[in-house]
Structure 1
């Protein structure tokens, strides 16, 4: 099923429009654009492609039918043996200065940080990729020696050293190449790479520089994008456990330097975001939940009376444990896109890829549109467009399995907000908005979007707290 071109725009008179989607299931999607096609790769060497970020075609869904290597079990034998596994976890890819494509893959035993990151190269994005070897390893029970940044030999400690998985490779503003990586265990680290061949530069020690995390706190999936508009490097992360009952959610911090320090809206240095010795995984959430701007959490979309009793696709009802994202910036249009996987309410562990457009607010923080991308562009609106009743949600800071519901508020002509939440708002510059609730200012935008359940276009808003890093959404009724 495709999407009719006439349904893409949303500036015409509102009418019922049945937009359909071709969905794909790629866990931990990392995006790259080659000519006019977007490709994503993820865990288990799953792959999919799209022309429009709306309709996806699956290329592979497991190691057994992967298309990137001619004989992956043979070529990547060293990695699989070290990771004590038969599968691969989150990958990333990038085109380097030599015009070739580099795939950064990883393996992990799973119940311990027995992991490794390696890399491979190909002339074409479709492969075949040729293995270039392992570049960093971590360990479970067996002793592993490494060199610190001063060249001193030490013994790997999973409380403070990184699990060598979840690579994310990016260029900085000066053309230097970096790899941010890590998951749980000792935290998130960064290594500088050679921009000509993708290898690790010498003189950084085995693991490079620590950015945040530690003591097995549930922080993983780093991804970095540089914005020329703001001069910031934005570090996206996923907090919590990835299963449907573990509260996975995406957060962001920023820095003027690729290797940090990174800060959130509260002014926290992310190096302080970590657990405490002696606790593990979810038990550390009380310490890390107060760091990073939370983009959104578990939620269930509001349903109108018309579709309340309809049989709806569970994947349209809301998101659960959405995370492990990548980001794409379209230089021609100035649009930012958040690409991630999500589970869904009452649907177990099944997951699909989702793409949402993002916007920079007046504080230079990203806010995420409430509905998936269907080709919309932000427009110039007037007071009539934005005044009215909204379904409203506060995404909070928690890391939990609760699926939040929307409440009811009204935006009035006099600039007040009434209903389940009370406050004031200021509409300005044709699509920007400041919302004041209990003295906290939330900044963001109004944008008209396609409501996937009502099959109609409606006004939405998305804002981020200037001092608390909390996201609020609204969907006009």
Structure 2
């Protein structure tokens, strides 16, 4: 067929040459227009210089990918002037789905006047889509029918695609030619990044017309989805990619770029989720018989692999390993199988369990006896019993592994292994031998060793307990003496966006031993999380990114059938505007082996790039540089400590490095060595698209070194004007300013920034904006002048400075107060009182009434102005008669099982405990690693007071690591969100303290904030004024007052007690010394 096609093309071309030879005067040379932008070269031509009324116009469009990277969704669109239309069978728009590096594509479109050729006026025909490979050729042939001035042109489009069924498309276009035409020279109207608009000015029947052609690289419309702890898998049958994660969520992709859900979080634990053959409680009922009926929604860390041996044996070839957990340490890794990657998967058996008791094993709740080859506990040896059985969870986690986060992998000989474990238990990360035919445990078990390094049930220990989510990737390489490297990954830190979550990497030449980091340190070493393991990436922010990328982790990795290597992970942002509070998406970054056989990770997520040779001249230049740290921070006071912002360095032509860091660099092929100070980092150079909305292609480098750190570079190509503009675009200024704030004085691209203010409410002092509140609200214009070289950009920022307020308590129950003497601007204030006998404005002396309250108006006159300040305060006696108190010292135990009792927790009664310390005894509510849990303390009849009263107590707070933690003083109208005690308080509170995951900043009724150090005891005084529906709160520690403020009460003011929401994962709330007073 191919030979026949070639013959036809040859005949067509010969005929065309003969016709062109006899019609040279008709086909006069026509001028074309051409442009090249961001690796996309475009030419537009017409076949003649002048057209008659009956002529057909032959428009030729040529597109070439001159970049080193494939481009996606490259299209042309022809916009016609009035009077022209497309001839039927031609297309005004076409799209190339995959346009490979070096590929060429030529298109020809025939146009006619609107009163010619049929009735087709559709100038917006939907484009055909096709894959274009390295050689996409459009060949035209022309045939002239002598006597009728009609030329039939055969245009053949040969498209050679990547897919198995290559296609050749022949388009036959009719082209009529009659008369002479004149064509004006074209002009380049627009040339944006991978977007060019070319205009051809032609004359038809004496009328000038403009034909506009837009050629645009639209790139991949990458649909992002969020999967936590994503495990990536490529189906060897379809070639498609799948990502599976915690809470029964999964997605699929054809290219690792754009994803679609196949199982979503909204129906994760509902019957609508079809990832499993049955509802999860039914699917894993064998496990839930052990965990208990009250344990729900604990399906974590799904991971799938394919087994050729299982397929050959007639078994389901897709093995899914699933964690079923009670939210603490009691967990089971199970196998479910399917004949399709999308499922449904059916439960087969347990693989390994954790935190069981001896009685549970005897009842057959676990598979421990099966693995050990005994029928009952009595058949176990004394040493086995001592090793496998523990008295409680604390003893278990002190020595044995947590059965969570499974990840299967194959060695170079096709043997199947399963790694698992977590930092939550001291047993470390383990590996088991598996049966590739069934997906279950292999009969070939590890022998028991007294040092705890391996045993038949838990397998072999390959790493310490620094991290979680272990994953092993095999990369075959002749750099390894065994022919393969095995890379072990884990994640560590706290899961939240500001928790410092990060990935670490180790390498071995064997699947189940010998893992070390780049520094040569063993993964088994007793070394803290900061310095052990190659840190793949820090939190980071390039200038092209809208938001910082943080908490990158929970990863898996893959070698595709094309040989590309990827790390696949979930990514969050310290800026809530990115994905919402602690929201996340999945990303895939390509990895490469450096010259020493260590994987290095590209700076940007994958967009289809392939490594190709880069000349040294292209590498030389300015770079945004990320120097990834080893240290990580859990909820620092400044969120910018969660990530590294890029700096500018220059790779100079002479091999030196200058700028923010100094050193040397060398390049050999695609291998680069970057030396910063006395540290050397080895990696690779390639071209990637950045993560801006335009996905601009640039040269990047990535390298790692023996200090376990990673360095990234992303080349910049900006003029001084562009640098000034980019620096100006990165400036942020407070929109509302009540206190002094910093002003940026230097841009990352070297600009110098100077500031001016048009209003005395903000005084600029170098890099500080000093806020001086006035008598009325002020709108201040701050002007930034950003200068880079000879180029200057000016930007204005509007800042609101609220009217000055004076810190005078609304309720006074002390014998002395201090009134402000000056305004913020330094003007003297003279105060008068409406009742000097009760509150003397001159001295601040206060006479507390014996009963009732008095309302006093304080009036302040500001010197040198017409400004008068009026403040109304209430003087009242502090309640002093104790009506209820509880310090827990006389208790021997505490129960939280009865609703309406002193303490009650529906789902975490065992987490309410009586503890010793703090001068006696106190109550602690600590749900541990469970999901968020609620508890209530009810004071009872004596404590149910109204009117004017004061509540005093001591508390110690530690916010949970994953969800909001709350503490509230509540009324008898207390209600829960969704009527669920665990979900948080909805209303009926006198005041509420709440903190985001892991934070030490607590908000008061969602307004003011107070910093309370985790685990530190503080004293709280709450003065409730029932008649005014207000409560004045004072929080103090041993060093003094931390907060004082007055908030409004909505609803009842009748006291009930406390409400606590222990936020998910390790929240701790302690209460002591409760006292209620009323006069």
TM-score, normalised by the number of residues in structure 1? 0.88
Matched, 1:90 2:291: no
RMSD over equivalenced CA pairs, Å: 2.4
C-alpha distance in structure 2 between counterparts of 1:7 and 1:413, whole Å: 38
Structure 2: 5+ residue runs without aligned partners? 1-70, 75-95, 103-191, 196-216, 312-316, 362-367, 373-380, 391-395, 447-455, 635-641, 717-1079
Post-superposition CA distance 1:134-189 (Å, at most 9, x none): 12111179987668999822224212211101000111112211100011112211
Q: CA deviation at 1:8?
A: 6.0
Alpha-carbon distance between aligned partners in 1 of 2:666 and 2:573, rounded to the nearest angstrom: 34
Q: Which is further off, 67-76 or 49-58? A: 67-76
Moved more, 289-298 or 137-146: 137-146
Instruction: Call closer, same or farther: CA 1:144–1:160 in 2, change over 3 Å.
Output: farther
Q: How does 1:260-279 map to 2 (within 5 A)?
A: 260-273=513-526
Say if 2:686 and 2:699, in contact at 8 Å, map to a contact too.
yes
Name the residue aligned to 1:385.
618
- CA distance in 1: counterparts of 2:335 and 2:244, whole angstroms: 14
d(CA) in 2 for partners of 1:436 and 1:10?
34
Conserved? CA contact 1:79–1:107, under 8 Å: yes
> Which of 320, 323, 329 is residue 553 of structure 2 equivalent to?
323
Matched, 1:403 2:640: no
Q: 1:55 aligns with which of 240, 258, 270?
A: 258
Q: Deviations along 1:417-446, whole A, 9 cap, x unmatched? A: 0011000000111x2110111222100111
Distance 1:130-1:24 versus aligned 2 partners, 3 A rule: same
Distance 1:445 1:119, change over 3 A: same
Describe the superposition over 1:315-367 as per-residue Cα deviations: whole angstroms up to 9, x where unpaired: x52311011111121243x2101111111231221101101111110111111
The answer as to 2:597 corresponding to 1:364 is yes
Distance in 1 of aligned mates of 2:99 and 2:523: 40
* Equivalent in 99, 103, 106 of residue 320 of structure 2: 103
Q: Kindly indicate whether residue 254 of structure 2 is the aligned counterpart of residue 37 of structure 1.
A: no
Once residues 685 and 476 of structure 2 are traced to their aligned partners in structure 1, the CA distance between those partners, rounded to angstroms, is 23
3-state SS, counterpart of residue 397 of structure 2: coil
Supply the distance in 2 between the matched residues of 1:141 and 1:3 (Cα, whole angstroms): 57
Decide which of 214, 222, 225 is 2:470's aligned counterpart: 222
1:47 to 1:28, Cα distance in 2 relative to 1, 3 A: same
Q: Which residue of 2 aligns with 1:4?
A: 73
Q: Does 1:126 align with 2:334?
A: no
Matched residue, 1:235: 488
Tell which has more relative contact order, 1 or 2 (C-alpha 8 A, sep 6+): 1
| Largest Rg, 1 or 2 | 2
Separation in 2, partners of 1:317, 1:7: 29
Number of equivalenced pairs: 446
Q: 1:27 pairs with 221, 224, 228, which one? A: 228
Aligned 1:134-153 pairs, distance under 5 A: 134-139=350-355, 152-153=384-385
Q: Indicate the SS of the match to 1:40.
A: strand
Number of the residue aligned with 2:403: 164
- Deviation of 1:227 (Å): 1.4
Q: Cα distance, 1:128 vs. partner?
A: 2.3
- 1:15–1:457 Cα contact (<8 Å) kept: no
Cα offset, 1:18, TM superposition: 4.6
The residue that corresponds to 1:69 in the other structure is 276
The secondary structure found in structure 1 opposite 2:607 is coil
Q: Which moved more, 1:200-209 or 1:113-122?
A: 200-209
Cα distance change of structure 1 residues 47 and 235 upon mapping to structure 2, 3 Å threshold: same
Question: What is the Cα deviation at residue 386 of structure 1?
Answer: 0.8
Note the alpha carbon deviations across 1:360-402, whole angstroms, 9 max, x for none: 1011111111111110111111122111111111111112252
Contact 1:390 1:408 in 2 (8 A): yes
Instruction: Determine if contact 1:254/1:264 at 8 Å carries over to the other structure.
Output: yes
Say whether the 8 Å CA contact 1:10–1:449 is kept in structure 2.
Answer: no
Does the aligned pair in 2 maintain the 1:253–1:264 contact within 8 Å?
Answer: yes
For residues 683 and 304 of structure 2, what CA distance do their matches in structure 1 show?
31
Q: Are the counterparts in 1 of residues 247 and 297 from structure 2 also a CA contact under 8 Å?
A: no
Task: Give the drift of 1:260.
Answer: 1.0
1:121–1:131: 8 Å Cα contact kept in structure 2? yes
Are residues 434 and 10 of structure 1, via their aligned partners in 2, closer, same or farther at CA, if it must alter by over 3 Å?
Answer: farther
Decide whether the 8 Å contact of 2:73 with 2:99 is kept in 1: no
Is contact 2:72-2:99 (8 Å) kept?
no
Separation in 2, partners of 1:273, 1:57 = 42
Deviates more, 1:372-381 or 1:4-13: 4-13
Which of 525, 533, 550 is residue 292 of structure 1 equivalent to?
Answer: 533
Per the alignment, residue 433 of structure 2 pairs with: 192
Q: How far apart in 2 are the matches of 1:419 and 1:330?
A: 38
**Partner SS for 1:433:** strand
Cα contact 1:80–1:87 (8 A) shared by 2: no
Distance 2:605 2:226 in 1: 15
Secondary structure of 1:74 counterpart: helix
- Contact persistence 1:63–1:87 (CA under 8 A): no
Cα distance change, pair 81–346 in 1 and its aligned pair in 2 (3 A) = farther
Change (3 A) 1:180 1:423: same
Matched-pair contact (CA < 8 Å) for 1:463–1:471:
yes
What's 1:277 paired with? none
Would the alpha carbon gap of residues 114 and 3 (structure 1) be closer, same or farther in structure 2, given more than 3 Å must change? farther
**Residue 73 of structure 1: SS of its match in structure 2?**
helix
Conserved? CA contact 2:609–2:687, under 8 Å: yes
Structure 2: distance between partners of 1:299 and 1:81: 45
User: 1:211: which partner in 2?
Assistant: 462
Q: Within 5 A, what are the aligned runs for 1:405-444? A: 405-429=645-669, 431-444=670-683
CA shift at 1:63, angstroms?
2.7
Task: Give the conservation status (yes or no) of the 8 Å contact 2:331–2:354.
Answer: yes
Of 510, 515, 521, the match for 1:257 = 510
Aligned counterparts of 2:408 and 2:526: Cα–Cα separation in 1? 22
